[in-house]
Structure 1
Amino acid sequence: MAAALLLLLLLLATAVARGEDAEVLCADTACYTLHRAELGWSAAQERCQHDGGNLAPASSRAEAERLERLLAASTATSAWIGLRLERGHCVQTQEPLRGFAWAASGEPGNYSAWLAEPHVTCLSTRCVALRPAGPHGSPGWVDRPCRAMLPAFLCKFSFRGMCGPLRLGGPGRVSYETPFRVSSPALAAAPFGTLAEVVCEGAASQAFSVCKGQLEGDSFAWHPPGPFCPNTCAYNNGGCQQNCVETPGQPSYCTCHRGYVLGPDMASCLPEDACHPNPCQGTCQPRPGGFECICEAGYVLAPDGLHCVDVDECLEGPCRHECHNTAGSFYCSCRPGYQTAGPDGHDCRDEDECAQPNACPQLCLNIPGSFRCTCNTGYQQQPGSDACLDVDECLQDPCSGSCHNFPGSFKCTCPPGFLLQDDGHGCLAAPTTGEQLAGTIGTTAILRTTSTAWTLGTPSPAAVPGGLTPPAPTVVGSEHSPEHGADGPRLLLYYILGSLVAILLLLAFALALVACRKRAARQEKPKAKSAADNYCWVPEQPESRSRDPIPTPRQVQVLGVWI
């Protein structure tokens, strides 16, 4: 009793310093306030924290509607809410909150109401303001520099429970002083710790009551309970919910119908067991003056206060690609070519189809959401399929000599006496000495010189008259021989024809020689051999003409005849 009196005295002392006038709305276990003051985001957050709260979040559609209702009742063009992007954090366009976080909890949520995409940055802080409905459309969020000055801000204060409105039994008025220093002449629900000041009509003093918890259970009620300003049951039914009883010489009091009991406020009536049978589709929770229906996660209470309606979570855009609403929940799916990712399965990442075996016959190129097959160099893709066909490069005549096609490539070759150039396509005449050329064609090389180089057909230094050393031979068709560089194919033809002619001449000469010898052998007849067959007689010479001794027979073989 002493503690209760001490608490009452403290609240009475606090009531001397009136709180500021602000728009206030209390529901469930929280109160939301709209303050008119031109402040930056940080200063507004400090004001809310000083009174025990934070800048208001809008983590659900129901909470967002409460903030929009407060802002619509004022003339403010915008108000700060508790959404902020810290310096060093980047805007994430794929997330519902875009990388921002609520000041109250710091945890991201799925609900968002952006009127425009926030400014993309990683280097500056950005804060969010709520704009009311207007020419731009429905109410929603816009991001601003946190130092910008806005005309209002919204706060949220959480409590363990609430008391209903204080009942009056006669003419009078009630003023509520909340724990967060906001005064209001009317509250649909008053948070725990609220002080109610009652001024009865014609009374010389005020009466006070405090919202406090009951000794049993988790309910809250006014102490003292009321009703205040008792007069007669003719005024407002004496403040009673059901029955008002008047006794001569005694103040009026309240009673309830059969099956109901008087509530802690001594004015409302509660069913003896308000939740039996359960009138709710969800869970029934007894409350002062009746009961409250509570729905499971994924459902919201219907307007009748009894039934539960499924929440379409997909309206809040929780999924990156596709969202599918279900009874009481939802699930996300990804477009073809993507796989679900993230701890909650709301994100999607590209699937690498090229990692699968035999995705393509040759080369596989992964692209976002799909893939494409390509071919190696030297192959071309067959129209209408992924098969790769070999390209016959020889059809494009890439070689000076012969071209040989291979799977995926080709090879150039040159005729005898020519070498393949470094580019693998052209042919250059191989350097050949005069002696080698003479041995090939069976003729003597002819020395042909120019003012700058020795060309094809140059003999060796030993064959040059006078023993002069000729200059180094120049390869026919090289870049230093403009006479032959442009006539490579013609010179090649001349070389081949000359070689054939020389070979044919040699063959003809050899055949003629063989034929002559056979003919001479047939004409000779075999003779009897004698000792004189190998000698020839020399006629006598006159002595006067020669005094030399008579020559002796010598065996001299000339063309097979001994003389």
Structure 2
Amino acid sequence: MAVARLLLLVLLVRGCGGQEAEVICAETACYTLHRAELGWSAAQERCRHDGGSLAPARSPAEARRLQELLAAAGWPGPAWIGLWLSRGHCVQPQEPLRGFSWAAGGEPGNYTAWLSEPAVTCLSSRCVSLQPAGSSGAPSWADRPCRTLLPAFLCKFIFRGMCGPLPLAGPGRVAYTTPFGVRSPQLAAAPFGTLAQADCESGGGSAFAVCKGPLEDGGFAWHPPGPHCPAACAHRNGGCQHRCLEEPGQPRRCACRPGYVLAPDMASCLPEDACHPNPCQGTCRARPGGFECVCEEGYTLAPDGRRCLDVDECLAGPCQHECRNTAGSFICLCRPGYGVTGPGGRQCRDEDECAQPGVCPQLCLNVPGSFHCVCRPGYHRSGNACLDVDECLEDPCPGPCRNFPGSFECLCPPGFVPEEDGRGCRARPTTGAKHMGQPRSTPGIPRTTGTLQSTGAPQTTGIPQTLGIPFGVTLLAPTAAGSAPDPEHSADGPRLLLYYILGSLVAILLVLAFALALLACRRRAAKREKRPAKNAADNYCWVPEQPESRGVGGERSGWEKQ
């Protein structure tokens, strides 16, 4: 009793300061219309402060309920609802909600009522307002910047259950104060926790009641039950639906006809034991003379009228790829390599795996539902890696070959240039060269016919060249053919040029030495031909005459043999 009095006191204090707003309640939810000029975020904060959220419109039935609220309030202008697109998220033209989401959370649903297509953006937040019904008879949506100030907003509050109108036995007025702080003089259904204040006429005073529950049978009822504003059964049947009983010395009370039982409000009557205990697998609804079973969405009533059978929605083929039936619903699945998209997640679109970093070591090729890793030319696949191909193992060059990552190069000797295909060498084109005979070819090194020339020096003639390169000279100045080497080979240029110049000088010096030796031999031979022939007098020589001596032995001749 103390707890009930404390709850009643709290509700009374809250009710005294309740805000005036239009409200409509049905099933397990209440919707309110508030007249206040606020932006979307401020309106959402007001709804949250009272325990709710900006109202969604997930279905045509919910949209009609909001329209009834606007019509009852006579509101002609727009009002914020709980649909928005946060900053950094893009508008998706192919989706029903266009990428917007409900502030209250949950599934987006397929219901839409766009007055016009929302502005396509990814940079700013956009919020939606509800426009009252026009000629079409249904309210519509319009998007606008969230900072725009609108003169009204709609809230939604969800509860576990509802109580009916507070029954009155005598004349009086009832004011309802809801748990979300809104006062209303009339409610077709009052949410759990609502405080009802009955002001009885003819000096009957005031009475208070609170919607409590759930009760033992799962329902909700006013406490104390009533009817309030006691009066004689002659006035409005004492507030009773069937029978009003007045016994001497006993308070007035309500009773039901045979076949019916008194409801928790102690004024209305329900069919006797129609839904207590519940004979249905789903929801039981009492009807005059019996009951009716109702199944939830995704189920259908069995032929016996009591059980609920699951509906296999997959039989209708609602999904593009695969469908999995669940209790009361279904789930659409996509094959590997595809992602769920479209209204209700029923469509599938290919996922670009190549957009993810590090999928392949080199090149990635996206295909429907999958992808392929490929390597650049000059590499081959080995597991999850791309390894360099050593092209030189295939002997692509007539001479030396150098391999480097992704390609190779053919090396050409001085005086030769690479072929067009990069796999051979040909003689460097020269001008003014004279044919001096067929050179001898060295294996693996292409040769050509011509004469040896030295730039800036007289040309040697009459000396046949039998070798393109002097025998014994090492090829130290190769010329690259084929694909361009990587940067680490770029430093060989000056070195190759130096080797080329030194090799050319050595060859020129050898040729000059050979020519000088031959010339010296010819001159020596010419001198020998010009020397006179010898005779007998060459063995004699002249002796000066001596004075005649006259001595014993006689005279000497003037010639004397040497």
TM score, norm. by length of structure 2: 0.54
Contact (CA 8 Å) 1:100, 1:108: kept in 2 or not?
A: no
Q: Secondary structure at the match of 2:30?
A: strand
| 1:159 alignment partner in structure 2 | 159
Structure 1 residue 41: Cα displacement: 0.5
The one-character-per-residue Cα deviations of 1:316-345 (angstroms, maximum 9, x if unpaired) are: xx97999999996577699xxx96746986
- Counterpart of 1:109? 108
SS at match of 1:94: coil
Identity %: 66
Separation in structure 2 between the aligned mates of residue 366 and residue 2 of structure 1, nearest angstrom = 72
Following TM superposition, the consecutive aligned residue runs of length 4 or more in structure 1 with deviations greater than 6 angstroms are 276-281, 289-292, 305-314, 318-328, 330-334, 365-369, 430-437, 460-463
Q: Quick one: distance in 2 between partners of 1:309 and 1:225?
A: 38
Residues 77 and 306 from structure 1, CA distance in 2 versus in 1: closer, same or farther, beyond 3 angstroms?
Answer: farther
| C-alpha deviation, 1:24, in angstroms | 0.9
1:200 corresponding residue in structure 2: 200
Find the counterpart in structure 1 of residue 172 from structure 2. 172
2:29 is the counterpart of 1:30: yes
Cα drift, residue 2 of structure 1: 2.2
Please list, as runs of the form range in 1=range in 2, the aligned pairs for 1:152-301 lying within 5 A after superposition.
152-203=152-203, 205-213=205-213, 216-247=216-247, 251-275=251-275, 282-284=282-284, 294-298=294-298
Letter in 2 for 1:43: A
Alignment-derived partner of residue 99 in structure 2: 99
**Residue deviations 1:513-559 (CA, integer Å, cap 9, x gap):** xxxxxxxxxxxxxxxxxxxxxxxxxxxxxxxxxxxxxxxxxxxxxxx
3-state SS, counterpart of residue 173 of structure 1:
strand
Question: For residues 40-75 of structure 1, what are the alpha-carbon distances to aligned partners after superposition, in whole Å with 9 as ceiling and x for unaligned?
Answer: 111111211221211112233433332222123332
Q: Over aligned residue pairs, what C-alpha RMSD do you find? A: 5.3
Residues 28 and 161, structure 2, Cα contact 8 Å, conserved in 1 = yes
Distance (whole Å) between structure 1 residues aligned to residue 160 and residue 268 of structure 2? 21
The residue type paired with residue 200 of structure 1 is: C
| Paired residue secondary structure (2:61) | helix
Distance 2:310 2:119 in 1: 34
2:151 counterpart letter in structure 1: P
- The alignment partner of 2:124 has SS state of coil
Aligned to 1:147: 147
For 1:200 and 1:137, locate their aligned partners in 2 and report how far apart those are by CA, in whole Å. Answer: 41
**CA gap 1:323/1:127 in 2 versus in 1, 3 angstroms:** farther
- Contact conserved, 1:299 with 1:309, CA < 8 A, in 2? yes
Q: Deviations over 1:295-314 (max 9, x none)?
A: 2233699xxx9999999999
State how many pairs are aligned. Answer: 390
Are 2:31 and 2:156, in contact at CA under 8 Å, matched by a contact in 1? yes
The 5 Å alignment of 1:494-513 reads: none
Per-residue CA deviation, residues 79-105 of structure 1 (Å, 9 max, x unaligned), is 11112222222223333333222222x
The Cα offsets for residues 148-170 of structure 1, whole Å up to 9 and x where unpaired, read as: 11121111112222111111112
For the 8 Å contact 2:38–2:149, the answer to whether it is kept is yes
Would the alpha carbon gap of residues 136 and 40 (structure 1) be closer, same or farther in structure 2, given more than 3 Å must change? farther
Question: Is the 2:333–2:340 contact (alpha carbons within 8 Å) kept by the matching residues of 1?
Answer: no
The C-alpha deviation readout for 1:393-429, integer Å capped at 9, x for no partner, is: xxxxxxxxxxxxxxxxxxxxxxxxxxxx979xxxxxx
Q: Can you list the C-alpha shifts for 1:360-403, whole angstroms capped at 9, x where unaligned?
A: xxxxx99999xxxxxxxxxxxxxxxxxxxxxxxxxxxxxxxxxx
C-alpha deviations, 1:408-461, integer Å up to 9, x for none?
xxxxxxxxxxxxx979xxxxxx99989899xxxxxxxxxxxxxxxxxxxxxx99
- Provide the residue aligned with 1:519 in structure 2: none
1:48 counterpart residue number:
47
C-alpha displacement of 1:188: 1.2
Instruction: Tell me the SS of whatever aligns to 2:252.
Output: strand
2:266 aligned partner, one-letter code: M
Alignment check: 8 A CA contact 1:198 1:208 kept: yes
* Equivalence map 1:99-498=2 (5 Å): 99-104=99-104, 106-115=105-114, 116-135=116-135, 138-203=138-203, 205-213=205-213, 216-247=216-247, 251-275=251-275, 282-284=282-284, 294-298=294-298, 341=340, 346-350=346-350
Change (3 A) 1:333 1:195: closer
* Residue range with higher mean Cα deviation, 305-314 or 159-168: 305-314
| Maintained 8 Å contact 1:340/1:346 | no
Please give the alpha-carbon distance, in whole angstroms, between the structure 2 residues aligned to 1:41 and 1:88. 17
Cα pair distance change 1:53/1:462, threshold 3 Å = closer
Instruction: Give how far 1:12 is off.
Output: 3.2
TM-score (norm 1): 0.54
The alpha-carbon deviation at position 254 of structure 1 amounts to 0.7
Cα deviation, residue 232, structure 1? 3.2
Shift of 1:282: 4.1
Map of 2:57 onto structure 1: 58
- Could you tell me how far 1:263 is from its partner in structure 2? 2.1
CA distance in 1, matches of 2:224, 2:290: 20
Deviation at 1:199, TM superposition (A): 1.6
Task: Measure the CA separation in 1 of the matches of 2:312 and 2:75.
Answer: 32
1:195 Cα deviation after fit = 1.2
- Say which SS state the counterpart of residue 247 (structure 1) adopts: coil
Equivalent AA in structure 1 for residue 68 of structure 2: R
Q: Distance in 2 between matches of 1:261 and 1:31?
A: 29
Distance in 1 separating the partners of 2:75 and 2:227: 36
